[in-house]
Amino acid sequence: AQSVAQPEDQVNVAEGNPLTVKCTYSVSGNPYLFWYVQYPNRGLQFLLKYITGDNLVKGSYGFEAEFNKSQTSFHLKKPSALVSDSALYFCAVRDQNDYGQNFVFGPGTRLSVLP
Amino acid sequence: DAGVIQSPRHEVTEMGQEVTLRCKPISGHNSLFWYRQTMMRGLELLIYFNNNVPIDDSGMPEDRFSAKMPNASFSTLKIQPSEPRDSAVYFCASSPGTNEQFFGPGTRLTVL
């Protein structure tokens, strides 16, 4: 069965500094990996995904994530944080061998960007 | 496209009452998901449908919960009878089969 860990409940970063939100996963086969963002009182919004190919994936709002198979990680990054990036971030995984669509979401990491 | 539409946005009810949450997926999407989000348990998948057929309902907590998808443009999640521990935000999401899911704004349910 697949699982996702987000080791940090909270990440604080100063505006203009680079940010990293960590994610590690476990699947029996090859993974599909996703990042979503949730703003207060809103649903989750898709940011980016890794399916295959280049390990560095670029997504919305200047975010990117790097797939590292050996470390089973998919950390979310942004070179320069904005106050408006403050939100709850979820990593999700799906096993490519699972022909259903059973996504597993991590517990979420709250990002606070301080002005 | 209006995105995934959920109604009502807020529901306050008393314990024992029936609650029905509604979802209209994005047109053309063939998969639909119901999630529940709480502070304690995070985001939990309750059930998902593919081409209107329930595929996995193992996340449905109890027999008090039921979900239907009578056609490609409408789904309901019903709780009968409701209990205070059902209080949560319930999200509906749809997917065109390309892996990413598109979430609705959620229904905030409070059971007194």
What is the reported pLDDT for A102? 72
What is the reported pLDDT for A101? 62
Q: Using CB atoms, which residue from A43, A90, A94 is nearest to B105?
A: A43
Which residues, 6+ apart, have CB-to-CB distance to B112 below 8 Å?
B12, B13, B14, B15, B84
Q: What angle do CA A8, A14, A16 make, to 5 degrees?
A: 120
Q: What average pLDDT is seen over chain A?
A: 92
Overall average pLDDT of the B96-109 stretch: 88
Question: Does residue B2 carry a pLDDT above 70?
Answer: yes
Question: Could you tell me if A89 lies within 8 Å of chain B, comparing CB atoms?
Answer: no
pLDDT in tens, A49-98: 998 889 999 999 999 999 999 999 999 999 999 999 999 999 999 887 77
Best of B34, B101, B107, B108 to substitute, by most chain A Cβ atoms within 10 angstroms, is B101
Distances from the Cα of A41 to the Cα of A12, A15, A63, angstroms: 21, 23, 22
CA dist B78 and B61 (Å) reads 12
- In angstroms, what separates the C-alpha of B104 from chain A's closest C-alpha? 6
Overall average pLDDT of the B76-82 stretch: 97
What is the reported pLDDT for A95? 83
What is the reported pLDDT for A99? 64
Q: Is A83 helix (H, G, I), strand (E, B) or coil?
A: helix
Number of A–B residue contacts, CB under 8 Å: 53
CA dist B88 and B85 (Å) reads 8
pLDDT in tens, B17-66: 999 999 999 999 999 999 999 988 888 999 999 999 998 888 898 899 99
Q: Is B84 helix (H, G, I), strand (E, B) or coil?
A: helix
CA dist B98 and B90 (Å) reads 23
What is the reported pLDDT for B39? 87
Question: Could you tell me if A94 lies within 8 Å of chain B, comparing CB atoms?
Answer: yes
Residue with tokens 């007194």: B112
CA of B39: which chain A residue's CA is closest? A107
Tell how far CA A5 is from the center of its chain. Answer: 10
Overall average pLDDT of the B8-22 stretch: 97
- In angstroms, what separates the C-alpha of B102 from chain A's closest C-alpha? 7
CA dist A14 and A9 (Å) reads 17
Cβ contact B37:B88 at 8 Å: yes
Q: Is B4 helix (H, G, I), strand (E, B) or coil?
A: coil
What is the reported pLDDT for B41? 87
Question: Could you tell me if A53 lies within 8 Å of chain B, comparing CB atoms?
Answer: no
What is the reported pLDDT for A100? 62
CA dist B15 and B80 (Å) reads 10
pLDDT in tens, B80-94: 999 999 999 999 999
CA dist B47 and B59 (Å) reads 6
Q: Is B86 helix (H, G, I), strand (E, B) or coil?
A: helix
Phi, psi of B86 (to 5 degrees): -80, -10
